[in-house]
Every structure is written in C-alpha cells, then in structure tokens.
Amino acid sequence: MEARRILEPLLENADIKIDGTRPWDIQVHDDRLYKKIFQQGTLGIGEAYMDGWWDCQAMDVMFCKAIKAHLESKFSLNSLPGHLLSLWQAIFNLQTSDKSREVAKKHYDFGNDMFEWMLGPTMNYSCAYWRNADNLDAAQNAKMDLICRKLYLEPGMKVLDIGCGWGSLAMYMASHYDVKVTGISISREQIEYARNRDTVGKIEWVLDDYRSLQDKYDRIVSVGMFEHVGYKNYGSFMREVRNLLNPAGLFLLHTIGANHQRKGTYPWVDKYIFPNGMLPSEENLTKAFVDLFIMEDWQNFGADYDKTLMCWAARFEEGCEQKRFKCDERTRRMFRYYLLSCAGGFRARDMQLWQVVLSPYGVPGGYVSVR
C-alpha cells in the first residue's frame, strides 16, 4: 500500500484523514483508489467517487480544505489525463462553432425536469446575488434585477442575451423593463423550454451560435456563457459583441473567473460536466477587450456562488429522494460530486464570479456603478 502511505501525509497536511471520524474525512471502500489517484489525478478521484470507491459526509468542506492546501496541483499536473488535456487544449481550438455544441448535448440537454427541481422556479443556472436575500429564489431574482439596473434599461431598447439558457433573464427584462429581447442559445432543449414558457411575447428565441447574428443592439448581456468560449476565442468573442452593439450601448458580462489563467479545465469536469470549458483570468479577459471597450464597472461576488451551489445540491438530493426525475445512482453521485466540489472551490476563493460592464466609447459624464 505504498500509494496510501504517500497519500496520507498529503491529506493530513490539509486536515483530512482517511477513514477518520470527522464529517470532512474520507471513507475508503476500495483500496484501488490510492493507485488510481496517482495514475489519473483529479479524473481518477472523481470517477472513483462515482463508482462508490469512497465517500465523504461533508464533501464541500473537504474540497475547501484540499484546495486551500493546493492538493489538486500534486495530482492533476502529474497525471497522464491532466497532461494530455492541457496539451490538447493548448494545440487545438476546442471552442469552435461546431465543438461549442458538445456542452449543450452533454450537460444542458440533460433533462429539464431535473434542472427545474434543482434550480427552482427562476431556472437560473448561474450565481445568485445574496446581499439582501434570504432564499435562493429571492437571490436569483435579485441577480436578474441587478443586471437590469447595471444595464440602465429603458423601454423599447433592443437587448441581446447571448447564451440565454432557459430564458429567465430575457423574460425578466422584457416583462419588468419593457424591452425587446433576442435570446440565443445552442441548446435545443433550452430554447424549446423558453418558447413554451414565454408569456411576454416580446422575445425572439434563436437556436444558433451567437457568431451567426448580424443585427445591432442597444444592450448586450451574457450570463454563464463565457466559460465555454475558450482563451483562443476571447478576442473574437469581444470583437463580435462590439460589432453587434450600438455605439452608445452597454455590454454586461457575467462569468466565473480564475485567479490564474488555465489553458483548460480539470479532466473530470471536462469529461463529465462541461466539455471544452475554460475559466478566464483577469489578465486574459482584460486583454480580450482592450482597444474595443472601456471598462465601466467590475464587481466580484464569487463568495455568493458557494451558497448558491449548496442550495442546488440540497434541491438536487431532495428531487432524487422524491423521484421527481430519472437519475441512476452513478449519475446522482456525479452531480453531487460536481456541485459540492465547486462549492468548496468557491468557498476557498479559488474561483471568482465577475460582472463586468463595458461600453464602446465610454458613458458620457461617467458610468454610475450599481450594487
């Protein structure tokens, strides 16, 4: 059990024990886990959990401790899957128009019944804003209103929502601010769902890639989509938005961000959750819009994603228990691992959530920040 002898002091350095008694200690059911971790890194850890090789009562706490101790760097960088994924994403553009549809088929088209239960009535699959909210639905509505106020929407404006999801923000903008919205997504399930629940009647729903658009808009917003663009396409994304935006317009980007630029994502996340995904760093995001936009506002409320993810995890487990949607045990463990590991990542402040407001030429007299 040489692998276990090597692993134990690494875990103890993060205040995690194997077969310990605390909620964040891991319980090992299959000794093959230790070798798999050193051979496959974070991919092996995630797959072993899905297969029932180990458990942890408070996985979010365990991941927070592990990330703060930088354990992932000791496994991911030395594993073959991690090396291959980094090399593959460095050489090839995995976020082309055709490849961008992979994440829709694999994740967002998983099933609306599951997402309805997990996300709740707002159907917002992005970080909620908890400053003055005491429950998830109120926090998601607060996030949508925050976006609208930051965009300074006025009746009759033409608004483009890039990556509109299930249409909640588009409908909120149209119904509360009397604007004309175009919502675009590459997910067939999401667009059909949005069309069916649209009672506003002022929204054009488009099943396509944003790069196909030709019109001009007064305001553009993109929430939770930039994570799928990839660093090779950051500049072209910003140029496309600039071409679609009227000279006096505003663009709001809502995206998860990384403290350091990653040329890819963790192999397990890439394989099971978000194929070809990539988080931008502050430096790479800024490089993408320099000479195209003036940065009017930049807000970070990444700590709010921890609470959001914990609510999603609780709702997901409740839906599984009540059999509100079809989900076998391996898939259930996959979603649990995904939601709680991400919660731990945001709690450790390893990831951020940014809302950036950009204008082509600068707001006359200056932009007034909204919080």
* Amino acid sitting at position 100: S
Cα 333-189-264 angle, rounded to 5 deg: 55
Nearest to 293 by CA among 354, 247, 255: 247
Q: Which of 64, 148, 320, 342 is catalytic?
A: 342
CB 259 within 8 A of CB 315: no
Q: Which residues contact 132 (CB under 8 A, 6 or more apart)?
A: 142
Q: Are 296 and 359 in contact (CB under 8 A)?
A: yes
DSSP state, 75?
H
- Both tokens of residue 262? 């990653």
DSSP-based three-state secondary structure for 187:
coil
165's CB contacts (< 8 A; 6+ apart) are 108, 123, 124, 125, 126, 185, 187, 190, 194, 223, 224
320 is catalytic: no
Long-range Cβ contacts of 26-33 (<8 Å, 24+ apart): 26/54, 26/55, 26/56, 26/62, 27/54, 27/55, 27/56, 28/53, 28/54, 29/53, 29/54, 29/55, 30/54, 31/1, 31/4
At 248, give phi and psi (nearest 5°): -95, 15
Cα–Cα dist 226/99, whole Å: 15
Residues acting as catalytic residues: 342
